[in-house]
Amino acid sequence: MTPVLQLSDVTFRRDGKQIIDGISLTVNEGEHWALLGPNGAGKSTLLGFCAAVTFPTSGHVHILGQQMGRVELAQLRRFIGHVNPRHRLQYSLSVREVVLTGITATIDTPMRWTPSPEERDRADAMIAAVGLTHKADDVWPTLSQGERSRTLIARALISEPRLLLLDEPTTGLDVAAREQLLETIDSLDETHPEVASVLVTHHLEELPTTTTHALLIADGRTVAMGDARSTVTTDNVSAAFDHPVVVGYDEGRWTARAKATRIIEP
């Protein structure tokens, strides 16, 4: 296995508060990790390390074998695809134009930049991969949230990343759109088998069937870590969320519900 991402005993302090407290994580090529935990657990900070945008207070971060702080960050970021549903555009771009900004690593299309025919073909191939060929010329404000999320996955993939980060990608989606997006994420296991991924969420129902590993955190510390089936369990999830939760698993998908604390008489 080739490590794509290694966090070694990382910590992070802000305004005297310990946000991350000694977390270690190794993500290998082709693995798909879920990062789970309640609000305020430190998930976003941890994802910032993975994206090479936040430096830990102590500990080390290696991405593709390069240590943060000893390599040009822009060089690392070219190999990282980042899907953030809160993506904000200044201008009204089409689906194709948004996907092409993945090549330039910018939010909007750079001035005086014209994509080559090969780059346009690659954008169209990525758009087709996420099932949006019929929407390629539609502009961002007219898209549903689900279509935007799939567009951002195509944008992340066009630069041929080795690490894909998905920051709560199903935020704001209804059930049908969520399932469409999860099907798209699952399909990447076949179309991009070498790409490793880290998906952040606090809803077990939002985990793709291709999830291979999981890291559960609470209060900036590791609660449990390992292969997904043995990590995303009733005991571990209840400990991470500090609430009795019953975890179910069926046909590759997880569910969670509150554990009954009293019997209601008929």
Q: What's the pLDDT tens digit per position in 104-150? A: 878 888 788 888 999 999 999 999 988 899 999 999 999 998 899 89
Radius of gyration of the chain (CA): 19
User: Within the chain, which residue ranges are assigned CATH 3.40.50.300?
Assistant: 1-79+161-266
Q: Does the 1-79+161-266 domain belong in CATH 3.30.1490.20?
A: no
pLDDT of 1 > 60? The answer is: yes
E strands along 15-142, which residues?
Answer: 17-28, 32-36, 58-63, 66-67, 80-83
Query: What count of other Cβ atoms lies within 10 Å of the Cβ of residue 180?
Result: 19
Q: Which residues share a beta bridge with 32?
A: 197
CA distances from 266 to 186, 258, 263 (A): 43, 20, 9
Share of the chain above pLDDT 90, in %: 64
258 — pLDDT class (breaks 50, 70, 90): confident
- Highest average pLDDT, of 87-91, 165-169, 180-184, 230-234, comes from 230-234
When comparing pLDDT for 70 and 230, which is higher? 230
E strands along the chain, which residues?
Answer: 3-14, 17-28, 32-36, 58-63, 66-67, 80-83, 163-167, 196-201, 213-218, 221-227, 245-250, 253-258
pTM for the full predicted model: 0.90
Question: How high is the mean pLDDT of the chain?
Answer: 90
